[in-house]
Amino acid sequence: MWEILCFKASLMDRVKKLEILLEFGKKIQAERNIEKLIKLLTEEATELLEAERATVFVLDKEKKKLWSLVGLGLDKQKIEIPMNEGIAGYVATTGESLNVPNAYKDERFNKEIDKKTGFRTKTILAVPIRNLKGEIMGVFQVLNKKDTTFNEEDEEILNMLASQAGVAIENSKLYSQLKEAFSSFIESLAQALDARDHITSGHTLRVANLSMLIGKKLGLNEEEIEILHHAAWLHDIGKIGIKDSVLAKPGKLTEEEFNHIKTHTILTKQILDKIKFYGKMKDIPLIASSHHERYDGRGYNLGLKGTEIPLLSRIISVSDVFDALTSKRHYRDPMPILQVLEIIEDGKGKNFDPKIVEIFFTLSLFEILNVIKLGRKKLKLTPEEENLLKSINLKTFFSFLKKKQNTPYGTKKPY
Amino acid sequence: MWEILCFKASLMDRVKKLEILLEFGKKIQAERNIEKLIKLLTEEATELLEAERATVFVLDKEKKKLWSLVGLGLDKQKIEIPMNEGIAGYVATTGESLNVPNAYKDERFNKEIDKKTGFRTKTILAVPIRNLKGEIMGVFQVLNKKDTTFNEEDEEILNMLASQAGVAIENSKLYSQLKEAFSSFIESLAQALDARDHITSGHTLRVANLSMLIGKKLGLNEEEIEILHHAAWLHDIGKIGIKDSVLAKPGKLTEEEFNHIKTHTILTKQILDKIKFYGKMKDIPLIASSHHERYDGRGYNLGLKGTEIPLLSRIISVSDVFDALTSKRHYRDPMPILQVLEIIEDGKGKNFDPKIVEIFFTLSLFEILNVIKLGRKKLKLTPEEENLLKSINLKTFFSFLKKKQNTPYGTKKPY
């Protein structure tokens, strides 16, 4: 009778654990961000196996490394170890599970991670993470079972978790690889287009980076930042249809030529409209092609006004003008920074959304210098110089320049 | 005592079912192809619930339709129903589960699908498929429980299956949407580049389509076909860096201009090398940029010879020449088809891989006509004309043309 009851209790325990695993499985399969995925997996393992800590190592076959995020809470740090080092390395290379009752007595144990995190490892259970084909994707490790050592049942549960993890990690990898291929394709093409005219080389790279800086200061969320990134990289894609005799004309453009150049935003829209964007990415064609709209409604293509212009276009618009003015053009030299800042300040409410201009002026000199440098010759700064540049924002710098202009050292030039 | 034993048996049964679900969960989460995913899901549900048949309906919110694959085995056909029609429509719109003991007595039941498939529905259990956010993604339906009706436990299991299905369907959708965005981006850009010179407009579209035809006849697998598709669409991407005065020059090119045009394959390589391709896609830069290599080693960029040239480049090479010769150029009219076929036949072992040329000649007139038409004016054929064109392959047609050439009606012209 007791036997039956005990058996029943352990069966019920098993049902409960299986139900948790099943429920948890959905959560991890829905997570495409690998770092968040690792966090979910370690939290679940810690709880389910009554361990003090858990680590998921992901195998990078090309680099022959295992990498992971270690530490506590928000302080997670990325670490990398050679794929055959430590307990995890042993598991990754042999495919065997290991149940280590005393870590410091096992010569395979790597004390370095404890040193880094200040944690004291006692017991370890480590199993390989495999995909459905059986290929090793990483290692799942739990540390310090509460009051005792890990047993066979723990090993079974960790193996179940690890096999769910294997599928989830593989999916997340594939998804992010595809995303990266997509982004890098956009970037490579935009750069090739810029390079048609040596003078605009690097323009889109700088506009994209400056837009990111403004977008982040504005507090855009992850999804909006991604869309801003794509749209900024694509804003001039319509230049594909602009004649290079006009694009690279040495000297001022005639009215007809200028009108030809202006069609690039229409082309940007047409090219992007053919792309099967989905979800919020569907806004990219409009966002990318509206960077010459003006806040006062006097821009093109559509003459949109104020908030009719997509917010992200209003950001790209400021970045685009800033980079154009600080760069050489066939008909003029790069403008002095004071003049550029004056034009942007004056454009508040005319060319630009005043709010975006204000945020632009909160950028530090260090940030803006890093953007200006992009795609150009490298500039080296000492740590002191860096800190100084970080402490000054554009607004302060602008006031300083304006003051200086009125001293005997400055020269006031109209633009 | 009996009670305890029964309880134990039902617990063991539950453990078994949970284990099956857990194991099965990994399989479906690893499947990114939506049609294969639906097949897996229906097979599993049929077995687990002892049903005669199962259907997974996927909700297309934009079209307001539910679609599925129905029928038996390999004969699965795609069907679409309005999202509020039938039992599935009721579940999709209300989010309620339904257990219908007699389908033909339920007025919501849609008899059309039975009519189509020749199946006789008796009992139905249908539950909504939701993603983790609780949004309805579709409907999971099982039909005709063996010897009885569906009970509460069946409903619980189907719900568990459906919630795994929700995550898997969402992942598969996102992945294929991203893939489509990527492909359509490549296509849109290549078309914009072709359109820089009206005379090459549609060239890449035709080369890609012809390459697909040859690739499929050659028996390439799904992955190779996908790579061929991308590489063909990207083969002329380097033309981004070719001056339009040369690209669209009316009349013959000078040697210098021709050498400038030839750099487009180097640029194709450079642009594609910057893309973070992964897996087998890593070969795309070499494949796309090798379409001017010759089988006898006398081509460019690298002067590769025979099988040193990637197989997929050898396919694109034939397609590229076929389209160039059948199209107008600034310095000549489109060539007569006989002459084009002679050039390709003569190029066996010189310009082209003899095996690819042979496969090219097995294409039917109908297939080749459909390629030639692409991006040009539409041509309408009667069903009889279509069948005739389908029955003649290029080889037969070529012999016929050659014979005709030697009759009083044909004229032999040297090229």
B277 interface with A at CB cutoff 8 Å = yes
Looking at residue A74, its pLDDT comes to: 52
Q: What SS3 state is found at A151?
A: coil
Task: Fill in the amino acid letter for B338.
Answer: L
On chain A, the residues whose CB falls within 8 A of the CB of B129 are none
Residues A255-297 pLDDT 10s: 999 999 999 999 999 999 999 999 999 999 999 999 999 999 9
Looking at residue B413, its pLDDT comes to: 43
Q: In terms of Cα–Cα distance, which of B400, B399, B397, B401 is closest to B413?
A: B401
Side-chain half-sphere exposure of B234, counting CA atoms within 13 A:
34
Structure tokens at A387: 């800190």
- DSSP H or E run through A144: strand A136-145
List B residues 36-75 in contact with A (Cβ-Cβ < 8 A): none
Q: Which residues of B393-404 are buried (b: 16+ CB within 10 A; e: fewer)?
A: bbeebbeebeee
Number of H helices, E strands in chain A: 17, 6
DSSP category for residue A78: E
Residues B16-51 pLDDT 10s: 888 999 989 999 999 999 999 999 999 999 999 999
Find the closest chain B residue to A240 by CA distance: B193
CB–CB contact A181 B29 (8 Å): no
Task: Fill in the amino acid letter for B21.
Answer: L
Bridge partner residues of B200 (DSSP): none
B6 interface with A at CB cutoff 8 Å = no
Q: What SS3 state is found at B412?
A: coil
Residues B370-392 pLDDT 10s: 898 887 766 677 888 888 888 88
Q: What SS3 state is found at A16?
A: helix
Q: What SS3 state is found at B88?
A: helix
> DSSP secondary structure string, A194-238?
HTTSGGGTTHHHHHHHHHHHHHHHTT--HHHHHHHHHHHHHTTGG
Q: CA–CA separation, B96 vs A235, rounded Å?
A: 46
Mean pLDDT value of segment B260-279? 95
CB–CB contact B188 A271 (8 Å): yes
Q: CA–CA separation, B22 vs A18, rounded Å?
A: 8
Bridge partner residues of A77 (DSSP): A70
B239 is a catalytic site residue = yes
Answer for the pair B240, A194: CB distance below 8 angstroms, yes or no. Answer: no
Disruptive mutation site among B10, B20, B22 for chain A (greatest number of A CBs within 10 Å): B22
On chain A, the residues whose CB falls within 8 A of the CB of B32 are 171, 174
C-alpha dist (Å) from residue A247 to B174, B193, B194: 38, 16, 18
Answer for the pair A56, A129: CB distance below 8 angstroms, yes or no. Answer: yes
A104 interface with B at CB cutoff 8 Å = no
> How many angstroms away from the CA of A171 is the closest CA of chain B?
7
On chain B, the residues whose CB falls within 8 A of the CB of A191 are 274
B9 interface with A at CB cutoff 8 Å = no
On chain A, the residues whose CB falls within 8 A of the CB of B277 are 181
CB–CB contact A181 B276 (8 Å): yes
A9 interface with B at CB cutoff 8 Å = no
Reported ipTM: 0.85
Residues B92-143 pLDDT 10s: 999 999 999 999 999 999 888 888 888 899 999 999 999 999 999 999 999 9
Q: Give the active site residue among A61, A239, A249, A280.
A: A239
**Burial (CB count within 10 angstroms: exposed 0-12, middle 13-18, buried 19+), residue A222:** exposed
Disruptive mutation site among B7, B18, B157 for chain A (greatest number of A CBs within 10 Å): B18
Q: Average pLDDT of each block of 10 consecutive residues along chain A (415 residues)?
A: 61 86 90 92 93 95 91 70 94 96 94 86 96 95 93 93 94 93 95 89 95 97 96 96 88 91 95 94 97 97 96 98 92 89 96 98 92 77 84 89 69 43
Q: Give the active site residue among B179, B239, B249, B404.
A: B239
List B residues 305-344 in contact with A (Cβ-Cβ < 8 A): none
Q: A388 CB contacts (<8 Å, ≥6 apart)?
A: none
Structure tokens at A379: 């500039």
C-alpha dist (Å) from residue B351 to A333, B342, B358: 50, 13, 13
Q: Examine the pLDDT at B62 and tell me if it is beyond 80.
A: yes
Q: CA–CA separation, B167 vs B399, rounded Å?
A: 56
Find the closest chain A residue to B175 by CA distance: A175
Q: At what angle do helices A311-326 and A354-361 cross, to 10 degrees?
A: 50
- Average pLDDT along chain B: 90
Find the closest chain A residue to B189 by CA distance: A271
DSSP category for residue A35: H
Find the closest chain A residue to B185 by CA distance: A275
Find the closest chain B residue to A16 by CA distance: B15
Q: A259 CB contacts (<8 Å, ≥6 apart)?
A: none
Q: CA–CA separation, B349 vs B358, rounded Å?
A: 11
CB–CB contact B191 A274 (8 Å): yes
Task: Fill in the amino acid letter for B250.
Answer: P
Q: Which residues of A397-409 are buried (b: 16+ CB within 10 A; e: fewer)?
A: bbeebeeeeeeee
A280 interface with B at CB cutoff 8 Å = no
Bridge partner residues of B146 (DSSP): none
Disruptive mutation site among A185, A187, A188, A249 for chain B (greatest number of B CBs within 10 Å): A185
The pTM for the full model equals: 0.87
Mean pLDDT value of segment B181-188? 95
Find the closest chain B residue to A180 by CA distance: B276
User: Is residue B412 very low, low, confident or very high in pLDDT (cuts 50, 70, 90)?
Assistant: very low
> How many angstroms away from the CA of B180 is the closest CA of chain A?
6
A160 interface with B at CB cutoff 8 Å = yes
Of A30, A270, A274, the CB nearest to B132: A30
B104 interface with A at CB cutoff 8 Å = no
Mean pLDDT value of segment B251-256? 90
Q: In terms of Cα–Cα distance, which of A260, A413, A254, A250 is closest to A331?
A: A250
Bridge partner residues of A136 (DSSP): A130
On chain B, the residues whose CB falls within 8 A of the CB of A202 are none
Count the neighbouring beta carbons within 10 Å of the beta carbon of residue A370.
18
User: Is residue B295 very low, low, confident or very high in pLDDT (cuts 50, 70, 90)?
Assistant: very high
Tally A–B CB contacts below 8 A. 173
On chain A, the residues whose CB falls within 8 A of the CB of B20 are none
CB–CB contact B184 A267 (8 Å): no
B72 or A195, higher pLDDT: A195
Q: Return the CA Rg of chain B.
A: 28
CB–CB contact B15 A12 (8 Å): no
Q: At what angle do helices A394-405 and A354-361 cross, to 10 degrees?
A: 90
Answer for the pair A56, A137: CB distance below 8 angstroms, yes or no. Answer: no
Find the closest chain B residue to A164 by CA distance: B26
A231 interface with B at CB cutoff 8 Å = no
Q: What SS3 state is found at B126?
A: strand
B229 or B380, higher pLDDT: B229
Disruptive mutation site among B2, B19, B29, B135 for chain A (greatest number of A CBs within 10 Å): B29
Answer for the pair B117, B70: CB distance below 8 angstroms, yes or no. Answer: yes
Find the closest chain B residue to A167 by CA distance: B30
On chain A, the residues whose CB falls within 8 A of the CB of B14 are 15
Q: What SS3 state is found at B392?
A: coil
Task: Fill in the amino acid letter for B139.
Answer: V
A8 interface with B at CB cutoff 8 Å = yes
Please report the domains of chain A, with CATH numbers, ordered by start residue: 12-174 (3.30.450.40), 195-405 (1.10.3210.10)
DSSP category for residue A295: T
Q: CA–CA separation, A279 vs A277, rounded Å?
A: 7
